[in-house]
Chain A
């Protein structure tokens, strides 16, 4: 009888890479729904564009590298990158923005570094930063939430905006962004930053219809959606709690100190936590295993520094949000953090 030889262990947990990636994508759904509700179906169009682009890019590169295409695609890592990037950019940004972003993320940031597992930087965030720096206007053209829009935009008009830059009636995106009162609407973070720079206090700025009592209209819900998804990821043991906790704790501490020191110019803890990309960054971006710290202690440090950088850049920097920059900066520090946070191995140190 011919017996099959194999090395131990002969048992496996049946966890798999594709299941892991798929779970993360699914965990994005609450946030996605919130975005859909507040910012329209444009995000879905971006999502489809992104998925197609990353699949094509990944397949071409695999072909060039003479590797099997389907195994690489089916691990889901490329799709996750596409999803995260699509959720990060303005829903009505021109189509080529997301296409360039996805190409850059997959081809340059991921595959040119050796493919999955070898990339130094978070592909989605690297692409986001590239886009932000290259196309600042398009990348900051967020529509205000639907209820503040002067004109309602249906799907065909959104498609037209994304692919042509103008609606069928000839309005540009900028024109669409003009609110009911005729003032161009920016994101809540941007608004506060600009207002404070113009000598207004935060409470004065918060009078803007963009805000509800606590945070930006709609944005709070989007962040809440990602928080829910993130908590599910922790529960499903897809990610460890250390990075999100590090980020949220540090951001809370910093914004609390800031608020106490200067209540007039500081929007406070809740605003920071539920604005911009905080929750998405904390649970979905910074936790990208490939580019994040790998020891649990290291993850806390990694998260804390991201939180600190987010706060510092939001408050003192030139950009309204900072998750992408903070994550990329900390990606560079990962080898160092990992080296100095090795856990104590059994039998080393104590009990002598």
Chain B
């Protein structure tokens, strides 16, 4: 780094590979000072004279404009304004052929000069060195300055580089034959250029500014060295005359031994290149307040009588330039904008000069011979020897001819700078650059097509998906709703199965809870699509539920018969009761469903979800209990069952009361969580709280009565003195019921949904239901309580469970698969337990968060 800086300061340059030495022809135009042209009759000012977007037109036809007045204002990024080059009247605003290889018509402002050349008001900063960064950028932007070396890149963007600039390289090389505009500008306005450099230094704070000038311009070198005397951070470097040393990348290599990475920009390696013309324009803008309205143009060639450099107003027609310098065209005259190597021929001379026009070359046939016919390539590789980018032009040419785009890319076609050195040396006179231009255009076109095709594909797929959705929605609304519900069902089954599987090895696996929640959420979504349905749909659903209920009943009955083999005395009764309950509930549910779906669907869903979770939790516990205790407890169960029913009823009432209490008072921790949540959430929370409280009881009771080792964690248990007897009985009941409950889980879960509290309070049937619910809750809660201590971050949302519920209503799988019911139910219970746990955790967490 230091070393590089020292080498640069010592004047070292690093030659780039290749390059050619075409005859300079510069003395044609470099001997006379820059002259000023008489005002033309007409100016054609294109709105776009740079890379980027047009500015927005702010003048109109017929309007009188003053010299320097903005014709457009920048709108989007990279848009640069253009200004009136002289005072006059806007004759028209129309499309006119532009200074482009294709003479592509561009929107242009046609100004008829009034001959007075009156400036608009100019704002000159008193001390530019005191201007802020933003103010300077704004001046450069508003003055319409774009790179004047050829590319026309908006200068304000470069000057506002986000990347740190180490070297500011000033391109004064002017390596193209014939052109001497920069040469003369440096000779006559070196101080102005240095001022421009200092503005850029102020903006970019580079370590060093290197001005690169070819050694065929001794006068310019002297002038620049003199002007830069005072500044030791500006060095004027003489570089050997070789084309294309003025190419940005080549100049960077030449002056700093760095290479711009392929596809990158110089700023990537801390280098920024500015043309001398641009820097002079910056000087004009900052120190004199003048926007960019004129530039130096070399008018040269053997058909020009007085070749030389002129100050030309932007928009001056080429014809005016040629006429003023004297022009006697030859047959098949070529008029080139730019130099002989990279310039392009113009189809007409009625084109306005633009910010990037540095030369008008009108050669005769002796100095620049017409290209001969293309001959066969003999692979002599003279082109490769001349290529400054170390490409293999000869290979590229073969690939371009055979349209092998992959090979072209492999051989780095896009690193070609189109300098024309290869075509210049080609003994077969193959227009190599033309082949590359065409190939590049074809590749770009192909890529665009590909992008378009991809977009079309996406669009097509989206459309198909939408049509499908719409069709499905129509089906749901009018015809075959069950079909979709079934599919939802199946989804649920899969989700359940997944949850079961993942739950089996570790029952308190959080992941399974999350997975279940996700599955539920998905199912819910599916369900949601059915939401917009009206009462008709609700009725349909009710009817289906009724069907389902009947079917389940039958199944349950059959099942209980089977189950009797092990627990005959208990199960008979239980099943009978359960069946009755289920039936009652189903009816209720159907009614509730029908009445509430439209309005309160969500509310019910949530409630239902809680209930469902409880039910499932219970089932699980029951399954456990079943395995361990059924044999012992069987004889006792009869009595217990009776008592338990009563107890359960009582408890249910209590629960209902407690809930009301909780809702109103928000006393304990769980309840505080509820404060800010919607009403349904509150209810859910309360339900959970109750369940947990009961769970404690149940747990204690269980310990006492059955001396089972069914996990009681004293730490988790809070308070509430418990009636021992009650508890004992309840526990037993719970256990006994467990099995039945497990079987009836689907029923219970589904039917409890819409009924909940009302049911508990209103009817005897509901009491029983409540009992079951209570038992469920107890079991669940115990489990939840156990988990509370050591689990974290549940993601489940109460509302999500509603989806599960909806699915459960219709779920028939367990019923159908009776033979392996117990095992299945166990698994199901595991899922349910996970859900309950997650829920409980969430509540607890919310509680702790809020408290």
Q: Contact residues of A with B, CB < 8 Å?
A: 1, 3-17, 19-20, 71, 75, 77, 115-118, 237, 240, 289-290, 292, 294-296, 338, 342-348, 350-352
Contacts and interface: CB of A to CB of B under 8 A. Distances in A.
Given A7-B433, A8-B433, A9-B341, A343 B392 contact: yes
B81 to A, nearest CB: 30
B427 A343 contact: no
A118 B23 CA distance: 33
Name the interface size band of chain B.
35 or more
A17 B420 contact: no
Contacts of A6: 334, 345, 370-371
B269 A351 contact: yes
Nearest to A75: B375
B118 to A, nearest CB: 34
B20 interface: yes
21 contacts: A3-B346, A5-B345, A10-B334, A11-B22, A11-B340, A12-B371, A15-B382, A17-B427, A20-B378, A115-B376, A116-B375, A240-B381, A289-B380, A294-B394, A294-B395, A343-B17, A343-B390, A346-B249, A346-B388, A347-B415, A352-B261
A122 B264 CA distance: 42
A258 B258 CA distance: 46
A206 B764 CA distance: 132
Contacts of A343: 17, 384, 390-392
A345 B412 contact: yes
Contacts of A20: 378, 380, 427
A118 B259 CA distance: 36
B340 A289 contact: no
Contacts of B505: none
Contacts of B22: 11, 13
Nearest to B391: A345
Interface string B253-266: 10000111111100
Given A7-B431, A117-B376, A294-B394, A348 B262 contact: yes
Given A6-B345, A13-B425, A116-B376, A342 B258 contact: no
A289 B381 contact: yes
B107 interface: no
Contact of A11 (B16, B341, B345, B375): B341
Contacts of B345: 3-7, 10
A345 B373 contact: no
A344 to B, nearest CB: 6
Nearest to B102: A5
Given A15-B425, A289-B378, A1 B329 contact: yes
A325 B550 CA distance: 97
A348 B348 CA distance: 41
A345 B390 contact: yes
B343 A351 contact: no
Contacts of A346: 16, 249, 253, 259-260, 262, 388-390, 415
Nearest to A345: B412
Interface in B234-280: 249, 253, 258-264, 269
B423 A9 contact: yes
B848 interface: no
A7 B430 CA distance: 11
B366 to A, nearest CB: 12
B309 to A, nearest CB: 20
A352 B426 CA distance: 33
Interface in B315-359: 329, 332-336, 338, 340-349
A116 B17 CA distance: 29
Nearest to A292: B379
Contacts of A8: 338, 340-344, 418, 420, 433
Given A3-B335, A6-B345, A9-B341, 13 more contacts: A7-B434, A8-B343, A10-B361, A12-B371, A13-B20, A15-B426, A71-B373, A289-B381, A296-B384, A342-B392, A344-B390, A346-B253, A352-B261
Contacts of B253: 346
A240 B378 contact: no
A16 B392 contact: no
Given A7-B434, A75-B375, A294-B384, A347 B259 contact: yes
